[in-house]
Amino acid sequence: MNCPTGGQGAEFHEYRAKTPLSILGPIRCRRAYYYCHRCGGTVPWDDEVGLTPKRLTPAAEALTTLAGTVSNSFEEAAEKVLPKMAGLRLAETTVQRTSEAAGARWKELRRRKQGLGGPQRWNWHREARGRRCAYVSLDATGVAQQACGGGAAAGRLPYVALGFNPVPELPADCP
């Protein structure tokens, strides 16, 4: 593989373990570690899946940032909001640094006059009266958890949302 920094060849060195935190709890994984003699080591998988320096998955980072933004304090986000939202247990400083890093990225996008994506026109099907419409469904589902060594652990209650635009029924004589 080519080193992402120096452009030279980076040789496979070994597999390294990491346990990032997702919204459903810690995930144990082993990733390929490559070594470039000019730049040092790199683990391309971490960048590919979007792991943060605080070892959060993209969804856990988004949830942490949201909690840190809407709460009265980073302490409240860490001790009350995140455990209630997804059973996440993070330090107050992790919530603060994650929220501030997201704010810095947003500030840089604003400085460059970029956004997070513009309006997107969806080609919705029309209902019986000719209007475009969609249905929204929201549900919570219980996910059992098991602690290390097979012991009991608090379960999780992730929410699942769905936007649905059904294809209208076609007349019987329609191909």
Residue after which a domain boundary falls, among 18, 35, 51 = 51
- Long-range CB contacts (< 8 A, 24+ apart) of 25-29? 25/87, 25/145, 25/156, 27/57
CB-based contacts of 88, cutoff 8 Å, min separation 6: 21, 23, 60, 63, 64, 82
What is the total count of domains within the chain?
A: 3
135 within domain boundaries: yes
CA distance 51 to 35: 19
Q: What is the pLDDT of residue 175?
A: 63
Last residue of a domain, one of 95, 117, 139: 117
What would the pLDDT profile of 110-152 be if each residue is shown by its tens digit?
899 887 777 778 788 887 778 888 888 989 887 777 777 777 7
Range of the domain at 11: 1-51
The answer to whether residues 46 and 7 belong to one domain is: yes
3-state class (DSSP) for residue 30: strand
Mean of all residue pLDDT scores within the chain = 86
pLDDT per residue over 87-111, tens digit each?
Answer: 899 999 999 999 999 999 999 998 9
Verify that 136 and 125 share a domain, yes or no. Answer: yes
Q: Is residue 172 part of a domain?
A: no
**Same domain, residue pair 65 and 113:** yes
**How many Å apart are CA 44 and CA 32, to the nearest integer?**
8
Asked if residue 125 and residue 109 are part of one domain, the reply reads no
- What secondary structure letter does DSSP report for 150? G
Query: 157 or 77: whose pLDDT is higher?
Result: 77
Q: Please tell me whether residues 62 and 91 are part of one structural domain.
A: yes
Residues 144 and 161 both lie in one domain: yes
Cα gap 132→105, rounded to integer Å: 36
